[in-house]
Amino acid sequence: MIIRNVVSSYNCGFDRLGPGKMGPMVMVPGSPPTKGRLLLATPPLEDPNFDRTVIYVLEHHDEGALGLVLNRPSPEQLGEPLDAWVELQTEPSQVFSGGPVEPDALIALARTAEPLDEPGEHLAPLSGNLASADLGADPLLMTGSISALRVFRGYSGWGPGQLEGEIEAGAWLVLDPDPSDVFTPDPDDLWRTVLRRQPGRLSWLATAPDDLESN
């Protein structure tokens, strides 16, 4: 599945925020649009789909936004007919849970040797050296063209104006990514890793306990 104009094809509002769900520690640097940036869920977030998640935003415009959760590896492995892609997968080579929208869809992100100016037959540029890859293609055609690959099941989506509202409400921190974030070998610690490299008090969030009542 190559990602092309997919935002306009879904209707996937998430009523995730409710009164009293956000804690007092809310800092929201940056502003929409968020395409090519990270969304970090601010604690506490009671929805288990998004608690402590790091989302890479693939699209964000007037029709909505689309992103993939980077730090939710699942037990799933690629099986037939996609098992030939396993050798190209970056460790950990599980299929990641990209979000609760369209859980039957598989989306592959690849790091290309050079930034792509135009979509090719099997790769479509997203941002910089990041592209979406067509899992329906022969993976041998990708050898030498990509240096990393990660496969996600499902994605995260917002309707028109919804993500902007959640950011304004303090549900997300909007931060710049590091080139290693999408293909991190340590996804379980990515939320804290991103926060630790932030300047000033924002980095203090990295030490927030999972249960804020215990602090």
- Residue 176 corresponds to which tokens in the numbers above? 């710049």
Between 193 and 143, the more confident residue is 193
pLDDT surpasses 90 at 100: yes
Kindly tell me the number of DSSP H helices and DSSP E strands found in the chain. Answer: 2, 9
Phi, psi of 43 (to 5 degrees): -80, 150
Structure confidence at residue 144 (pLDDT) = 84
Which tens digit of pLDDT belongs to each residue from 43-72? 765 677 788 999 999 999 989 999 999 999
Q: Mean pLDDT, the chain, as a whole number?
A: 82
Class at the top of the CATH hierarchy for domain 1-10+38-179: alpha beta
Confidence of residue 32 (pLDDT cuts 50, 70, 90): low
Cβ burial of 144 (10 Å; 0-12, 13-18, 19+) is exposed
pLDDT surpasses 80 at 130: yes
Confidence of residue 2 (pLDDT cuts 50, 70, 90): very low
Q: Which of 43-47, 105-109, 191-195 shows the lowest mean pLDDT across its residues?
A: 43-47
The ranges assigned to domains in the chain are 1-10+38-179
Which tens digit of pLDDT belongs to each residue from 138-192? 999 888 889 999 999 999 999 999 999 999 999 999 999 998 999 999 999 999 9
pLDDT surpasses 80 at 210: no
pLDDT surpasses 90 at 212: no
Cβ burial of 190 (10 Å; 0-12, 13-18, 19+) is buried
Tell me 113's DSSP state. Answer: S
What's the whole-number mean pLDDT along residues 203-214? 69
Dihedral of alpha carbons 75, 98, 110, 188, sign: negative
